[in-house]
Amino acid sequence: MSTSLILLIILIVGLAAYFAGRARAMASSKGKLSVLHSLPGYHGVYVAIWAVLPAAFVLALWLLASPFFIENSVRSALPESVHSQGSATTELMLGQVMQVANGLKRLNSDELTAVTSGSSSLRDALAAKGVPMANAGEPYMVEAAQHYNSLRDSSRWVMSAVVLIIAIAGAVFAIRGISAPFRARNRVERVMLGTLLLASSIAILTTVGIVGSMLSEAIRFFQSVSPSAFFFGTVWDPRFSAAGSGGTEGQFGLLPLLAGTLYIAFVAMLFAVPVGLFAAIYMAEYARPVVRGIAKPLLEILAGIPTIVYGFFALVTVGPFLRDISAQLNGLVTGNYVNFIQAQSVLTAGLVMGIMLIPFVSSLSDDIITQVPRSLRDGSLGLGATRSETIKRVILPAALPGIVGALLLTASRAVGETMIVVLAAGVAARMQLNPFEAMTTVTVKIVNQLTGDLEFNSPQTLVAFALGITLFAITLCLNIYALYIVRKYREQYE
């Protein structure tokens, strides 16, 4: 039986268990629903849970564990001549045995006997069925493959039987426990709690897993490049790692990338913060409901545009525009029509990223500003303050912790932004302060180092993980700092 068929059967058993449980609860209530501790539906769900959950759990466990045991058994059945060639060869042969096993299943009985008796070539027979083989195959392979197939089949049958028995046994056990005072409702509640807990721990564990995998790769990187050369190096020149020449030395200085990242994020924030904040103030304090109803969703549409589209916009429109206008300006002032803004520059990337960030700033700030209690507004207006005085002296100070938190969150987005800078910032890793020149960022270099054909053992590739974990640490620190600020100010204001 296939896994999905087993699952379907478990679900059907669960459904039947639900109705059986309900009926049993109804019966034990003897027509008076109020004598039941829990509604019949809860009893049904309780029985269904007993039918489905343990069975599904055993099924999952079996599916995970059985290949391991079967492979072990087949591996030990391989002839001594294979084992003596080391573990790499053993694994290779094991893989081939599985390939053969897969192919054998497609042969009919005549072909099978022909192959086992050696009268027809294993390779040709399998190739005819669309299963390619690297070499002609050896006699022991057919044997091992058959062993493998029979193990798999019997494992599957046992599993189907066990799982079904568990499902039915669970349902029967639960049904027998049902009585009028039985607290099915509380049990179901506990299962719900467990489900929710599981969901949140999956989210957290995934994060831990991501960090763990990045860390392990980064540590491999730091085995070939010293941390001080990475974190304090001022030259980024990774070279190419030619195949087989692992010794190609590159320089992996983080500082030029970090400088570019922070510079571009700074320019973006410089642009996004005032515009976004003023837009939020207008939306929250001045705009009439009609205007607000139209303008706020429009602004938020900006947040839904994929960043690669902003990247195009920067590459095709903003960059050339800035370059041309700088040439014109230069011409007007000095008579020399040479552009002083590069098409790919800190300014271009920062400007476009700023546009991307405006809706984040304005939307988050708008929510925070409208949360300031109306009574504070009235208090200030009632003292004869104008609207802008009220905003400046009462509302913004009261909303400040939230706004600072929002800005830091936005900043961490700016630092981690990838597509816009890939297209608009350029790839030149250098440290300089001219916003009209190209600079590059950590994310751009991660993309560069990980595109193309890769071997995952050279520092040229592994550096991407070191960069990634650095970026992660930076955004993590920003977020923690945001939380710290928010908490500190909240104490002061409440």
3-state secondary structure 302-346: HHHCCHHHHHHHHHHHHHHHHHHHHHHHHHHHHCCCCCCCCCCCH
**Smallest gap from residue 389 Cβ to another protein (A):** 6
Determine the Cα–Cα distance for residues 326 and 329; give it in Å rounded to an integer: 5
- Determine which residue in the list 296, 377, 413, 445 makes contact with another protein, applying CB under 8 A: 377
Q: Does 139 bind another protein (CB under 8 A)?
A: no
- Determine which residue in the list 342, 380, 440, 470 makes contact with another protein, applying CB under 8 A: 380
Q: Does 486 bind another protein (CB under 8 A)?
A: no
Site string for another protein, 322-361 (x = CB under 8 A): ----------------------------------------
Backbone angles phi, psi at 251, to 5 degrees: -110, 130
What are the helix and strand counts (H, E) for the chain?
20, 2
338 Cβ contact partners less than 8 Å away, ≥ 6 residues apart: 327, 330
Eight-state DSSP code of residue 244: T
Give whichever of 129 and 387 is closer to another protein, judged by the CB atom: 387
Q: Does 286 bind another protein (CB under 8 A)?
A: no
Give whichever of 132 and 382 is closer to another protein, judged by the CB atom: 382
**The tokens of 306 are what?**
């994929």
Of 492, 324, 351, the closest CA to residue 424 belongs to 351
Do residues 181 and 130 lie in contact, with contact meaning Cβ atoms separated by under 8 Å? Answer: no
Give whichever of 389 and 455 is closer to another protein, judged by the CB atom: 389
**Smallest gap from residue 376 Cβ to another protein (A):** 6
- With contacts defined by CB under 8 A, name the span among 16-24, 44-52, 109-117, 486-494 that binds another protein: 486-494
Of 69, 25, 72, the closest CA to residue 47 belongs to 25
Q: Which helix (H) or strand (E) holds 237?
A: strand 236-237
Of 82, 101, 103, 81, the closest CA to residue 93 belongs to 82
Q: How far apart are the first and last CA of the chain?
A: 64
Q: Does 296 bind another protein (CB under 8 A)?
A: no
Give whichever of 322 and 399 is closer to another protein, judged by the CB atom: 399
Backbone angles phi, psi at 139, to 5 degrees: -55, -40
Q: Does 379 bind another protein (CB under 8 A)?
A: yes
Q: Does 369 bind another protein (CB under 8 A)?
A: no
Determine the Cα–Cα distance for residues 398 and 368; give it in Å rounded to an integer: 10
Do residues 410 and 357 lie in contact, with contact meaning Cβ atoms separated by under 8 Å? Answer: yes
**Smallest gap from residue 493 Cβ to another protein (A):** 4
- With contacts defined by CB under 8 A, name the span among 34-42, 307-315, 385-393, 454-462 that binds another protein: 385-393
- With contacts defined by CB under 8 A, name the span among 43-51, 152-160, 332-340, 369-377 that binds another protein: 369-377
Number of residues that bind another protein (CB under 8 A): 23
Q: Does 389 bind another protein (CB under 8 A)?
A: yes
Q: Does 378 bind another protein (CB under 8 A)?
A: yes
**Smallest gap from residue 292 Cβ to another protein (A):** 10
Determine the Cα–Cα distance for residues 144 and 126; give it in Å rounded to an integer: 16
Residues 141-170 contacting another protein, CB under 8 A: none
**Smallest gap from residue 404 Cβ to another protein (A):** 15
**Smallest gap from residue 286 Cβ to another protein (A):** 11
Residues 240-259 contacting another protein, CB under 8 A: none
Give whichever of 34 and 375 is closer to another protein, judged by the CB atom: 375
DSSP 107-135: S-HHHHHHHHHTSS-HHHHHHHTT---SS
Amino acid letter, residue 194: G
Residue 143 has a CB neighbour count (10 Å cut-off) of 16
- With contacts defined by CB under 8 A, name the span among 142-150, 151-159, 350-358, 371-379 that binds another protein: 371-379
- Determine which residue in the list 130, 304, 384, 452 makes contact with another protein, applying CB under 8 A: 384
Do residues 264 and 350 lie in contact, with contact meaning Cβ atoms separated by under 8 Å? Answer: yes
Give whichever of 72 and 388 is closer to another protein, judged by the CB atom: 388
Q: For residues 246-265, b (16+ Cβ closer than 10 Å) or e, as one string? A: eeeebebbbbbbbbbbbbbb
Q: Does 397 bind another protein (CB under 8 A)?
A: yes
- Determine which residue in the list 76, 109, 451, 492 makes contact with another protein, applying CB under 8 A: 492
Give whichever of 320 and 397 is closer to another protein, judged by the CB atom: 397
Footprint on this chain of another protein (rule: CB under 8 A) = 288-289, 373, 375-386, 389, 393-394, 397-398, 492-494
